[in-house]
Every structure is written in structure tokens, then in C-alpha cells.
């Protein structure tokens, strides 16, 4: 069944129609929404008319409206008050177009129309007086705050997520983002899908790139991410954040990096040390010896404890893995993998994990005596049942996870 919001062919018009339907379905939101947009002297709600794809008060057939460049939405009354809204997702922003909308409204008796641009980013040219620009993600945030008490606001927020993930899945060229990350909410009733995983990992990665704690560690806000989030037909997607030390490298596998994983059964934050990493890691392991490696893992275990306390069901792991690929875009084929809970090195631990440091010893010996491409690293696995993961606080939890793993990065990088 076609969604009630999907009544146009152009993506910009679909999203605008969803906004209009929401405000029409819940008129009590109209005046607060207009005030938030900076509109003054708003008439009583009983006098406000709300229309799409037409000059205030002048009806235009829907199919003709899509081709005539009319304002996407108009609020107006019979006394010459009006607000014109132009929405953009893919097409460029034209201040001239906004001025033409205003001039057209003036010709029809609306003397001082207020013009609002809703886009994925800000216009490069300054807007003139009587114009305002907001981003779609700001609109998303405004309605999100009202979603718990308003069914139409909740429907609109949900639709924006579906709309954006659909556009991403279809490789539609959105210049920015429409929504904001507000948690990983997969469950038995809302199971993982590749489309939603791809959408959410993009939003989460964007938030993490600007996290102050990670910037302080040396994460590169302009660094390489995965150019394409592959994983269709699989049970997971992953992305990476690069470090400033990797700037100029031909391959991201020459340096440690931060990995994000969203899987069907949970998500993870990982500090990944690729097989091809520079810096003589094997020699560092040999110099540290088995006791030194155990101490490093014990330091990691202590560092992650505050993160574990925040997230019920979280698991801190260290691993070594050998794999190969059938093709450049295919999923890795695992030849061997050894995982150990960091808590196996704690002789005084109170968790259900029992003391058995020989698992960590085995990882050390594999790394020291490797004859093939062995990748290793630390991971923190999180459950979708965790309330923190299901909220915006997941951004901070991921950042704290990587901060707690930093002793391993210092060991590899040598500083």
C-alpha cells in the first residue's frame, strides 16, 4: 500500500507533502512551527490556509505545479499575510528563485511575504531580509521533540527515516543528511535490514567524526570512510574512521583505524590493526614479550570497565583473524579467528567470565609467529536491548569505547 505521504514523483515534493500532511493533520503545530521558523505576526489558526505547489490563493493543477517552479508550500490568509516555503534535497540552492517566489506573491496582493528555504545544507550566498534558511535535520529535530505526544509528528519523523534510507539505498545524490542519529533500535519487532543499517551507520559515523573526545584522540574529521557501504543480502554493515596519522596513505590498511559495525544481532566499536599496518608491530610484540602483552590486555580491561557498566550485556574482546576475499566487493572469507574476552586476564574479576589468560597468550603467539595476513584488534560488542544504544547517547558510548581502547593504539603507534 502506498504511504499517505508518497503522492509526488520528485523526492523534494514527497518530503514537502509529508510536512504539509503532518501540519494539516495536527493544526496545533502550525503556529509553533512558524514561530520556530522566525515568522512574526502570525494570524489565528482559524484564518491560516496551507497549500502546496501554488501561489497563495491561486489554484494550480498538481501535474502542472511540479513543472512550473512554484513555491513548494504556502501559508496564507485573506488579509495579505503569507509564508512561502521552498524545499531542496538534491538540486542546488538559488537565492534568485526565492526572490522570484516573493515577487510572484507580491503581484497577487501579498505585500510582504516571508520566504523559508528548507535544504540539506546552508546557502553559500547570504539571504536578504525576510528570508530564512533551515536544514532538514533541524526540522527533523523539531518534530522529534514532539513525537512522543503527537501521532502525526511521530509519523513524520518515521517517514523521514524511511525516505532517507530509501534514497541512500537507491544511491540518490543527497548532498547532506535529512535526519539525525537517535539510536539503534533494532529488535524482534523491528529486525535489522541492510537498507536501515546502511542509513544508520552513515548517520552515526557523521556524528562520531565531530565528537570532541575523538578529535582529541587524533581522529581525522576529513579522513577516509568507506566509499560504498556494501552488505546487501548479508547480516551486517561496517564503516571506518581514519586517524590523522593516516593522512596521505595510499591505503587505509597501512594504519590503525576505528571501525563501526552494525549487525543483525548487535553492534560494535572496534580498534582495528590491519595486517599491513606500518611501524614494526611484530617487533614491538617481540620486545614486549608475553608478560608485556598480558599487561597491555589487562590495561585495556581496566580501561573499558566504565563503558561496560553503562551498557548492559556489553562484551570487551580482543581477537586475531586470518581471512581472504573472493573479489574486491565480496565479504571476507574467514580462514581462522581467535577471540578472547578481555576479562579472561583478570584473576580477581567478579563477572561470570572466568580467569584463563592462556586465551590471550594464544593470540600473542599467533601474532608473533604469523605466516599470513593476520589482522587483530579490540572490540566492544553492544546489545540492541541496551537503552543507551537505543538512544542518541550511543554516540558518546561509542566514543568512550574507543577512548578506553587507546592503550592498544598507543602500543601500535609507538606514542
Band the pLDDT of 231: cuts 50, 70, 90: confident
- State the pLDDT at residue 196: 84
pTM beyond 0.85, yes or no: no
Check pLDDT > 70 for residue 7. Answer: no
Q: The domain at 183-413 falls in which architecture?
A: 2-Layer Sandwich (3.30)
- State the pLDDT at residue 56: 75
Q: How many Cβ atoms are within 10 Å of 13's Cβ, its own excluded? A: 20
CA 29 remoteness from chain centre? 27
Determine contact, residues 206/390, Cβ cutoff 8 Å. no
Least confident of 31-35, 61-65, 111-115: 61-65
Burial status of residue 265 (CB atoms within 10 A of its CB: 0-12, 13-18, 19 or more): exposed
3-state percent helix, strand, coil for the chain, nearest multiple of 5: 40, 20, 40
Band the pLDDT of 364: cuts 50, 70, 90: very high
Q: Over range 247-258, report the average pLDDT.
A: 87
Q: Over range 30-59, report the average pLDDT.
A: 89
| Domain ranges, ordered by start, for the chain | 11-161, 183-413
Determine contact, residues 344/357, Cβ cutoff 8 Å. yes
Determine contact, residues 379/270, Cβ cutoff 8 Å. yes
C-alpha to C-alpha distance for 230 and 238, rounded to whole angstroms: 8
Q: Over range 169-194, report the average pLDDT.
A: 78
Q: Is 185 left (phi over 0), alpha (psi -120 to 50) or beta?
A: alpha
Query: Tell me, what DSSP letter sits at residue 69?
Result: T
Band the pLDDT of 72: cuts 50, 70, 90: confident
Check pLDDT > 80 for residue 58. Answer: no
Q: Over range 127-137, report the average pLDDT.
A: 89
- State the pLDDT at residue 10: 64
pLDDT in tens, 268-294: 999 999 998 888 899 999 999 999 999
C-alpha to C-alpha distance for 340 and 333, rounded to whole angstroms: 20
- State the pLDDT at residue 3: 53
pLDDT in tens, 395-406: 999 999 999 999
C-alpha to C-alpha distance for 240 and 324, rounded to whole angstroms: 19
Band the pLDDT of 120: cuts 50, 70, 90: confident
Amino acid at each position: 500500500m502506498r504511504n499517505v505521504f508518497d503522492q509526488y514523483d520528485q523526492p523534494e515534493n514527497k518530503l514537502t507533502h509529508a510536512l504539509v500532511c503532518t501540519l494539516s493533520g495536527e493544526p496545533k503545530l502550525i503556529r509553533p512551527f512558524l514561530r520556530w521558523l522566525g515568522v512574526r505576526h502570525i494570524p489565528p489558526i482559524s484564518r491560516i490556509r496551507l497549500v502546496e505547489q501554488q501561489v497563495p490563493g491561486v489554484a494550480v493543477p498538481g501535474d502542472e505545479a511540479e513543472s512550473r517552479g512554484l513555491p513548494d508550500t504556502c501559508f496564507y490568509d485573506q488579509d495579505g499575510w503569507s509564508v512561502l516555503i521552498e524545499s531542496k534535497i538534491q538540486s542546488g540552492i538559488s537565492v534568485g528563485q526565492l526572490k522570484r517566489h516573493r515577487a510572484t506573491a507580491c503581484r497577487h496582493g501579498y505585500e510582504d511575504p516571508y520566504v523559508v528555504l528548507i535544504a540539506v545544507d546552508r546557502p553559500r550566498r547570504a539571504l536578504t531580509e525576510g528570508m530564512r534558511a533551515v536544514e532538514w535535520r533541524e526540522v527533523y529535530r523539531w518534530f522529534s521533540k514532539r513525537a512522543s505526544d503527537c501521532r502525526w509528528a511521530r509519523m513524520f519523523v518515521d517517514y523521514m527515516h524511511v525516505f532517507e534510507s530509501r534514497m541512500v539505498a537507491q544511491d540518490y545524490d543527497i548532498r547532506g543528511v535529512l535526519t539525525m542519529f537517535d539510536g539503534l533500535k533494532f529488535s524482534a519487532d523491528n529486525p535489522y535490514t541492510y537498507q536501515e543499517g546502511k542509513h544508520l551507520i552513515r548517520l552515526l559515523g557523521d556524528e562520531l567524526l565531530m565528537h570532541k573526545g575523538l578529535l582529541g584522540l587524533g581522529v581525522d574529521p576529513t579522513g577516509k570512510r568507506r566509499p560504498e557501504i556494501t552488505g546487501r543480502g548479508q547480516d551486517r554493515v561496517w564503516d571506518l574512521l581514519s586517524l590523522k596519522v593516516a593522512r596521505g596513505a595510499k591505503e587505509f590498511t597501512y594504519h590503525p583505524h576505528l571501525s563501526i559495525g552494525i549487525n543483525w544481532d548487535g553492534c560494535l566499536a572496534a580498534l582495528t590493526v590491519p595486517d599491513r599496518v606500518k611501524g614494526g608491530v611484530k617487533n614491538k610484540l617481540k620486545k614486549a614479550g608475553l608478560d608485556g602483552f598480558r599487561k597491555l590486555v589487562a590495561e585495556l580491561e581496566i580501561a573499558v570497565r566504565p563503558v561496560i557498566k553503562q551498557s548492559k550485556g556489553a562484551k570487551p574482546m580482543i581477537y586475531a583473524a586470518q581471512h581472504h576475499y573472493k573479489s574486491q566487493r565480496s565479504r571476507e572469507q574467514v580462514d581462522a579467528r581467535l577471540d578472547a574476552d578481555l576479562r579472561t586476564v583478570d584473576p580477581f574479576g567478579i563477572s561470570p567470565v572466568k580467569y584463563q589468560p592462556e586465551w590471550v597468550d594464544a593470540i600473542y603467539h599467533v601474532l608473533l609467529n604469523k605466516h599470513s595476513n593476520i589482522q587483530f584488534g579490540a572490540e566492544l560488542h553492544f546489545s540492541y536491548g541496551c537503552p543507551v544504544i537505543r538512544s542518541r547517547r550511543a554516540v558518546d558510548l561509542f566514543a568512550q569505547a574507543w577512548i578506553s581502547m587507546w592503550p592498544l593504539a598507543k602500543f601500535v603507534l609507538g606514542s
